[in-house]
Amino acid sequence: MREFFLKIFSEKPANEFTKISLFSPLHFAYLAVIVLIISLFVFLYFKKDIEKKEKIVNIFAILVLLCYLLDFFFQPFFNGGTMDENGELILDKFPFHICTVLCPLIMFSRYSKYKNVIKTPIAVLSIVAPLMWLVYPGSALDTDCSAFSYEIVQLFMYHGLVFAYGILSLCLEDYKLDIKKCYKEAIFVVGITLWAAFGNAIYSSSNHDYNWLFIKDPVFDFVPENLNPYTVMLAIYLSCLVIYGVYYLVVYLYNKKSKKEVAM
């Protein structure tokens, strides 16, 4: 049985056709599948009642959790039967990156007694963070892994599910954005950055230097290293504000169209 799973999850070497590079046909193919799936669920559930909309959003939240947790059980079948080249757990998958920490935060925002307070900022970050990765999937680009290997598929699946959760929450009116409350996103961005710094501090060693949320090395060459954490936080928060801007623009155009149809 073990040999069977090792064969399934072994990382087949990529060739010129199965290697993913930035904005390559396979990269666009992954993006297209994710967009089509999200569009399908928006189309199917946009006019449903609130209970059905909430149910489908909850289902995607659970799928995010399952995709994240199951990956830890499949890790022992990577790299020729070990968890990493040293036979240890792949700590990079621990919830210290913004996308991985969103998994428990999403569940907390769905099922805790504080869900109505924190649901909106977590959903907005669930759009921003995975979208950054999907546009520039650095951990999947130009590797030796085939685009159809488990590792690459899992990366796109997880980030796609988190992104779908955020988009569906917004499009199915699970919450509404209020620019007056955008300070909540700022609080979460600062909190997640501090959490990533904590993970970097306690898990980094002489054997491996962790850089969760990329707060150690400059994101841009012209940014001084000591300013990098603030640059990361600012970039994420400004991206959240862009989501607010797009939301208000869509609402304005939708209301304008509705008024025009009524007038006719």
For the stretch 147-160, pLDDT in tens is: 888 889 999 999 99
Number of domains forming the structure of the chain: 1
Range of the domain at 150: 2-263
pLDDT at 261 over 90: no
Of the pLDDT bands very low, low, confident and very high (cuts 50, 70, 90), residue 77 is confident
Instruction: Tell me the sheet residues that pair with 145.
Output: 13
Helix spans in the chain (H): 2-9, 25-45, 50-74, 98-111, 115-135, 150-171, 183-203, 228-263
CB distance 35 to 171 below 8 Å: no
Angstrom CA distances, 31 to 1, 51, 97, 134, 160, stand at 34, 29, 21, 7, 8
- CB neighbours of residue 36 within 10 Å: 9
Tracing tokens 């929450």 back to the chain, one arrives at 169
Q: Please provide the DSSP assignment of 40-54 as one string.
A: HHHHHHTTS-HHHHH
Angstrom CA distances, 191 to 109, 210, 218, stand at 15, 18, 20
pLDDT at 85: 61
pLDDT at 81: 62
Token readout for 115 is 């869900």
- The mean-pLDDT minimum among 110-119, 135-144, 239-248 falls in 135-144
